Homo-oligomer: A and B are copies of this chain.
């Protein structure tokens, strides 16, 4: 395992290091990873800047081949990668295997997309030389890459939103060199995947600097990268605090740059009277399973259940409770996340009675639920924040108007879900309020489980993400690293391949 910073084709590092920790056993893991020095950061940026004019000219076929090769190399890492990712995150084997599948699937998907070419949105307007009063010029347009991209990796997706995850893969696909800030809680997983990329880059004879990965912490390494004039865009998945700090630094640069940050979400779920009437227990069970999935550490974990006050309310709670009591105690992704979870739960329990107050010991957690009335929730804005982990608030609402009032108070969300029956007269106004809040609306389902497809939107208004127009999942994620260029009256020989003819 390479424990140095991978700076293009060089491995550099001495001095201070950081280590992975097994969150389940709290033991230090093998490998001391070098914290990047200012010189190493500078060299990675320099190489990325110099690699860009070469890499952007690669044919789509060649870039696609590079992505496919990275995917193949990741699979070739075999059990070593799976084991290390499990050790560093506390996630189960099945979850890591499925995440690896998603990661290679995304790489292959972007490869397929750039081979097809439509991702570049080619557009051709032919000249009309005899148009009156003025001739029309020949104008053609396509997307071109922005330049070096910095990717901040996600603690909760050590593969699919980390080193070769959605942000890095889409940026490379678009033609942008990538500098990955390794996540301090899974440095070994990062090192293994980075080596898979490094090998692919060498085999493809990519320009030195098309990919680098550096170890360090957000306030130092992260800020140094975001503020550097050679960086042209940033991808981030993580907490609101860290995301906002990056947004603020990027906006304050002499040359502000786009930041695509996904910063969490409460993912409210509405349960109407018509739904409770028919299947209160089942809804409770399904939501209980969704909120405890992966120890509640998905960005789409439902964190607020806005449930209509109704005779079947208690049946809903029974269903929920059943799943919560059945959930096994699990470790969280890292010690900081664990301690933040305990702090949040403890703050809630000092004010509210919690159902199944977290009873797990040591590094493990078990799920918890708080219950409040709609008016209490409205009156306490301090409760309107995400608790990362297996926790949700059940809000007993006195009617659809109160649900809407609460939705309007929350700010932007990745998802909003409704459990209802067709024909319920409350549906229209509730769906409308959901649409004004979230990037994805779910009907009678759970928000966890993000399908990777053309029509997926994984994003939403601030503070769920930094820019409402873009999503981080699916082929359209490519657009974030591009800008359109128009070519006026170009001879065919100088037009990009995709615009010829």
Contacts and interface: CB of A to CB of B under 8 A. Distances in A.
Given A53-B432, A463-B255, A123 B485 contact: no
| Interface core residue of A442, A451, A462, A482 (most chain B CB under 10 Å) | A451
Interface stretch (A18-26, A67-75, A138-146, A148-156): A138-146
A462 B460 CA distance: 25
18 contacts: A53-B432, A125-B456, A134-B449, A136-B451, A146-B468, A247-B251, A256-B462, A258-B468, A258-B469, A440-B486, A443-B489, A443-B494, A444-B489, A451-B488, A468-B483, A469-B480, A469-B482, A471-B484
A493 interface: yes
A491 interface: yes
Given A136-B451, A255-B463, A469-B483, A442 B488 contact: yes
A5 B333 CA distance: 56
Interface of A: 53, 57, 123-125, 134, 136-137, 139-141, 144, 146, 247-248, 251-252, 255-258, 411, 422, 427-428, 431-432, 435-436, 438-445, 449, 451, 453-457, 459-463, 466-469, 471, 476, 479-480, 482-491, 493-494
Contacts of A134: 449
Nearest to A258: B467
Contacts of A466: 256
B483 A461 contact: yes
A435 B134 CA distance: 27
A210 B146 CA distance: 36
Given A251-B256, A256-B466, 10 more contacts: A125-B453, A125-B456, A137-B445, A141-B454, A255-B411, A427-B494, A435-B485, A440-B486, A459-B483, A469-B484
A386 to B, nearest CB: 16
Contacts of A449: 134
A487 B456 CA distance: 8
B141 A455 contact: yes
A124 B443 contact: no
A76 B19 CA distance: 73
Nearest to A250: B251
B53 A486 contact: no
Contacts of A411: 255
Contacts of A488: 440-443, 445, 451
